């Protein structure tokens, strides 16, 4: 029976404490930045970092994974807030947190259904395009705050349309703070990062400089955030809003699952361990449910926090719990210190996260690797940024899967071989079998199949049906077929029906296994005499050639 708790022990106490402390140091500025970026408030980011981090650490399946609000989850949640507030100004924000609860339930359902190993089976071009699109959205949404202006309404389009006004109304002190933040985040030497995370450095330095050199009127700040733990709130929605919220929850739940499991794979590669993907989904789901119930941002596995946690010694979920304790202390006793943090600094942090989310490595080489793959990736980016997140993933998956099926069909057509006469040297027959086929004078058609016959192969089989017309007997060789899909089986059934209706013979060469069981369950074998179901291809050829004679010659 699976242990419900994550791996927690005290044999690596020093490493886990150090990993947890370091992860908390990185989590604080990121949580504040994502909270502000979402439009729900800086404290919402902290609540999400605490709730998701706590329950994912307790009940997850990846001991070293650090879970907290991430760039992709924040972008999607921001879109959810915008849409639901437009639908219902009074309860829109409460409905958005209900969507987070529902997303958590969906993740738990994925885990209970043991779908963890399938969640990340998406074409890389679609995942890359979607993530890159989210990174671009995050960057665009920070253009206003980093110029000292509030983010215009209307999402990405609204910001782009108002760029001239944003530039005209730009405030120099905030531009300088945002520029300093980006300069440190991009150009801080790697050696210094070992001693001071750049996010924390810009948070402290930006705050100190703004307090010492600038007045309160010259720079916008976070302001006071509520001290103490968040309050519990019941889900809010009506049956009329159920469908809209469910669609948003599915997108959020899927994205969170993919984000967490991909980060778990990175953690596995660093620690040489193997995570439990289904258990991790359950832990992530519980974390997001609790975050939604207490008004926090949704979260997932965070690559930066996870890598730093492992590099500084974290090996069990105790490091994640230590990180939560430190964040709790900040929320309960030190929340007043965050009041002086400039919004431009947090905007710079969020903008750098958006830059890092963009899959530069793939996008630079996509056109060299695959023209079709690059078109899908770029198309998904454009749909994500300018149309809709759901449409981007749906259309991208549809096109990618159609292209994959088409390519597989083309490849598997090589596994469908039709022989009516041996006029080529590449036919996979023995010399004796070739002699038998030659002696049939084109009256016996041999259909050779091999490998896995999935639904894409049915088209190739159907095209071969036109070659049956002039034959007296059809031999279907399934001996080397490992799997027969329903579509391929039904395509074979059409061939068999055509032959039987014309009063011609059907023989099937087979080995015991799934292909024959599939055809038997579909009732395809009911009209074929048992003597025509053989396990030897030579025997089938002899039966087809000498069916009208009293005695079939012995196989040589």
Task: State percent of the chain over pLDDT 90.
Answer: 33
> Is the pTM above the cut of 0.95?
no
Q: How confident is the model at residue 193 (pLDDT cuts 50, 70, 90)?
A: confident
Determine the Cα–Cα distance for residues 148 and 342; give it in Å rounded to an integer: 10
Are the C-beta atoms of 15 and 315 separated by less than 8 Å? Answer: yes
Please say if the pLDDT value at position 464 is more than 70.
no
Phi-psi map region of 403: left, alpha, beta (phi>0 left; psi -120 to 50 alpha): alpha
pLDDT at residue 550, as a whole number: 46
Phi-psi map region of 62: left, alpha, beta (phi>0 left; psi -120 to 50 alpha): beta
End-to-end Cα distance, the chain: 58
Query: Coil, helix or strand for 284?
Result: helix
- Of 430 and 108, the structure prediction assigns the larger pLDDT to 108
Are the C-beta atoms of 161 and 145 separated by less than 8 Å? Answer: no
Mean pLDDT calculated for residue range 443-468: 72
pLDDT at residue 551, as a whole number: 47
Determine the Cα–Cα distance for residues 268 and 306; give it in Å rounded to an integer: 11
Interhelix angle for 92-112 vs 239-271, to 10°? 50
Architecture of domain 414-545: 2-Layer Sandwich (3.30)
Counting beta carbons within 10 angstroms of the beta carbon of residue 114, is it exposed (0 to 12), middle (13 to 18) or buried (19 or more)?
Answer: exposed
Q: Read out DSSP for 352-367? A: HHHHHHS-HHHHHHHH
- DSSP β-bridge partners for residue 509: 477, 534
Q: How confident is the model at residue 416 (pLDDT cuts 50, 70, 90)?
A: confident
Average pLDDT of the chain is 85
Could you list the beta-strand ranges (E) of 409-511.
416-419, 444-453, 473-484, 505-509
- Count CB atoms within 10 A of the CB of residue 508: 24
- In the chain, which residues fall in CATH 3.30.750.24? 414-545
Nearest to 507 by CA among 536, 532, 529: 532
245 contacts: CB under 8 Å, gap ≥ 6: 84, 95, 98, 99, 102, 237
pLDDT digits (tens, 9 = 90+) for 511-543: 778 888 888 888 888 888 888 888 888 888 888
Residues in the chain: 556
Q: How confident is the model at residue 46 (pLDDT cuts 50, 70, 90)?
A: very high
Please say if the pLDDT value at position 208 is more than 80.
yes
- Of 365 and 183, the structure prediction assigns the larger pLDDT to 183
Q: How confident is the model at residue 412 (pLDDT cuts 50, 70, 90)?
A: low
Determine the Cα–Cα distance for residues 388 and 527; give it in Å rounded to an integer: 53
pLDDT at residue 465, as a whole number: 61
Are the C-beta atoms of 507 and 543 separated by less than 8 Å? Answer: yes
Burial 202-212 (b: 16+ CB within 10 A, else e): bbeebbebbee
Interhelix angle for 318-333 vs 303-311, to 10°? 110
pLDDT at residue 106, as a whole number: 96
Mean pLDDT calculated for residue range 449-460: 72
Q: Which of the residue ranges 38-42, 228-232, 448-452 would you say has the lowest mean pLDDT?
A: 228-232
Determine the Cα–Cα distance for residues 229 and 51; give it in Å rounded to an integer: 11
- Of 176 and 501, the structure prediction assigns the larger pLDDT to 176
Angle at CA of residue 263, ends 262 and 267, nearest 5°: 120
Please say if the pLDDT value at position 178 is more than 60.
yes
Please say if the pLDDT value at position 295 is more than 80.
yes
Q: Give the C-alpha distances (Å, rounded to integers) separating 54 from 39, 93, 258, 322.
A: 24, 23, 19, 9
């Amino acid at each position: 029976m699976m242990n419900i708790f994550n791996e927690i022990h005290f044999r690596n106490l020093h490493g886990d404490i150090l990993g947890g402390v370091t992860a908390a140091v990185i989590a604080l500025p990121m949580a504040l930045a994502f909270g502000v970026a979402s439009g729900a408030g800086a404290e919402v980011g902290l609540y999400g970092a605490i709730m998701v981090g706590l329950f994912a650490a307790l009940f997850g399946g990846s001991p070293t994974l650090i879970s907290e609000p991430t760039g992709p989850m924040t972008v999607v949640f921001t879109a959810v807030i915008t849409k639901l507030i437009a639908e219902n100004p009074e309860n829109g924000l409460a409905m958005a947190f209900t969507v987070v609860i529902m997303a958590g339930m969906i993740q738990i359902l994925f885990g209970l259904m043991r779908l963890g190993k399938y969640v990340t089976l998406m074409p890389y071009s679609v995942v890359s395009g979607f993530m890159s699109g989210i990174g671009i959205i995050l960057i665009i949404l920070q253009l206003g705050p980093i110029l000292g202006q509030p983010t215009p309404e209307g999402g990405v389009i609204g910001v782009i349309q108002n760029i001239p006004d944003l530039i005209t109304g730009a405030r120099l002190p905030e531009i300088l703070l945002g520029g300093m933040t980006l300069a440190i985040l991009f150009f801080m030497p790697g050696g210094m990062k070992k001693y001071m995370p750049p996010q924390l450095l810009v948070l402290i330095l930006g705050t100190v400089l703004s307090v010492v050199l600038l007045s309160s009127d010259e720079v916008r700040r976070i302001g006071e955030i509520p001290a103490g733990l968040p309050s519990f709130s019941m889900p809010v929605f009506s049956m009329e809003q159920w469908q809209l919220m469910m669609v948003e929850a599915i997108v959020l739940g899927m994205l969170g699952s993919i984000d967490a499991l991909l980060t778990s794979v990175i953690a596995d590669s660093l620690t040489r361990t193997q995570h439990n993907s289904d258990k991790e989904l359950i832990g992530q789901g519980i974390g997001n449910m609790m975050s939604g119930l207490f008004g926090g941002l949704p979260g997932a596995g965070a690559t930066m926090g996870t890598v730093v946690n492992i590099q500084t010694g974290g090996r069990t979920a105790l490091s994640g719990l230590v990180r939560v304790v430190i964040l709790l202390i900040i929320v309960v006793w030190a929340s007043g210190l965050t009041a002086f943090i400039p919004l431009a600094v947090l905007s710079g942090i969020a903008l750098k996260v958006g830059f890092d989310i963009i899959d530069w490595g793939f996008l630079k080489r996509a056109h060299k690797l695959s023209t079709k793959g690059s078109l899908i990736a770029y198309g998904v980016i454009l749909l994500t940024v300018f149309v809709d997140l759901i449409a981007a993933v749906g259309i991208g998956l549809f096109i990618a899967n159609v292209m994959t099926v088409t390519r597989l069909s083309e490849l598997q057509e090589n596994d469908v071989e039709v022989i009516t006469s041996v006029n080529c040297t590449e036919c996979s027959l023995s010399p004796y079998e070739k002699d038998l086929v030659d002696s049939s004078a084109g009256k016996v058609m041999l259909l050779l199949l091999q490998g896995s016959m999935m639904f894409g192969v049915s088209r190739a089989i159907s095209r071969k049906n036109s070659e049956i017309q002039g034959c007296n007997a059809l031999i279907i060789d399934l001996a080397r077929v490992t799997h027969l899909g329903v579509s391929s089986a039904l395509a074979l059934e059409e061939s068999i029906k055509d032959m039987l209706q014309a009063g011609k013979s059907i023989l099937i060469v087979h080995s015991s296994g799934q292909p024959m069981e599939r055809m038997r369950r579909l009732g395809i074998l009911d009209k074929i005499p048992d003597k025509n179901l053989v396990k030897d291809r030579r025997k089938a050829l002899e039966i087809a050639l000498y069916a009208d004679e009293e005695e079939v010659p012995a196989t040589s």
